[in-house]
Amino acid sequence: MFRQQHFWNHDEKTVTLTFSDGSPSIELPIEQGTYGKPVIDIRALGAHGYFTHDPGFTATSSCTSAITYIDGDEGLLYYRGYPIEELAYKSDYMEVSYLLLHGELPTAEQKMAFEQSIRHHTLLHDQMENVFRGFRRSAHPMAVMIGVTGAMSAFYHSGLDNFNPAHREIVAHRLIAKVPTVAAWAYKFNEGQPFVYPQNRLSYAENFMHMMFSSPCEEYVPNPVLARALDRIFVLHADHEQNASTSTVRLAGSSGANPYACIASGMASLWGPLHGGANEAVLRMLEEMDDVSKIPEFIKRAKDKSDPFRLMGFGHRIYKNMDPRAAIIRQTCYEVLDELDLRDDPQFKIALELERIALEDEYFIAKKLYPNVDFYSGIIFRAMGIPTSMFTALFAMARTAGWVAQWHEMLSDPAHKIGRPRQLYIGAARREFVPIGQRKA
């Protein structure tokens, strides 16, 4: 059963908001979490006739959460208090999924039971094949994933009560188990190949590789080095605090909407090129560069403020230091390239030379434009034979555990309300209706 944790520290600090026109001042409480900057609780502003204006919500805390903590200045990422470095090297995706959902690492017995439950739910309802066949063969895998995941709400809705913790746990297990099947089948459908059913004897990453790469014609044996690399990527992408897609899931879920539709909405947000599509952009950039000899020309363009060209896969909006996930996935990238003997592949040579320049060039160091997790994950996926169109689909697979954990946490909070952001209206003032015959151009 899920267990909710709260570490929120309440103190008696306040801030006083004063007005230049002599209006009465407003006193607002200041709250402090386990880590991070203090938060001014502005909920009382509405009663005084005010609200804040914060485009992009870059300075607004929309919820309390005990799941993930990020310190972008220091380059820290914790899941439930555990540094991502320890989880990436010492744990696996199933254990991390349990941690995100339940708040604690599982015992051996708990992990075994959790994995058995996930395996039990990997199959899709037989009629869902008809949903896949309703798409064009050329449809982007993410379009198919969004549609099919949302369609689960028509198959797994009987007796579902969002406010019953036991029901939420079943939903979480179903989604973590079924999204890899949906992703692999989206690829198979796109390629015109027969669907491959999951195999319960395989690990989570191996099972996905089996469904994606095997065929009825011959046996497929997942490479253990590649399977471990994929599992590690899933761990690194499992959650990332209140990003665009996670906030979308929470906002949709705040209305009590069907959870499968909520996760589909998160996938839709993730699909954007400014979010989950970033590693696709890395591969397109490498293809555009074409040869190592052209790198200096592109580096020069990247430094030119008047040139719209930007190096993809470098720097991060949140991390002002090196993305802690990047150092981990960098080592994983080398392991994959060595296992597949691809260090001399022309495109990978370009990527490795770009990496060298970014880590040594004073311009990139000064601006802290380090290679990020998207840079390395794109290289790994291509080396494994995963097409560019599937990159965001794998990101969605990994993030599903975080999405359902965040959805559960929100609904467990007795203080949660339906999301209803405010706006600063700048349109026309009230005006009279003019009959169409009297209107002037």
Residues annotated as catalytic are 275, 316, 374
Half-sphere exposure of 18 (CA within 13 A, CB side): 2
**Which candidate, 402, 323, 358, places its Cα nearest to that of 68?**
402
The whole-angstrom separation of Cα 373 and Cα 332 is 11
The whole-angstrom separation of Cα 101 and Cα 172 is 8
Locus of tokens 């309390």 = 64
3-state secondary structure the chain: CCCCCCCCECCCCEEEECCCCCCCCEEEEEEECCCCCCEECCHHHHHHCCCCCCHHHCCCCCCCCCCEEEECCCCEEEECCEEHHHHHHHCCHHHHHHHHHHCCCCCHHHHHHHHHHHHHCCCCCCCHHHHHCCCCCCCCHHHHHHHHHHHHHHCCCCCCCCCCHHHHHHHHHHHHHHHHHHHHHHHHHHHCCCCCCCCCCCCHHHHHHHHHHCECCECCCCCHHHHHHHHHHHHHCCCCCCCHHHHHHHHHHCCCCCHHHHHHHHHHHHCCCCCCCHHHHHHHHHHHHCCHHHHHHHHHHHHCCCCCCCCCCECCCCCCCCCHHHHHHHHHHHHHHHHCCCCCCHHHHHHHHHHHHHHHCHHHHHCCCCECHHHHHHHHHHHCCCCHHHHHHHHHHHHHHHHHHHHHHHHHCCCCCCCCCCCCCCCCCCCCCCCHHHCCC
**234 to 72, 304, 338, 394: CA distances (angstroms):** 21, 36, 21, 8
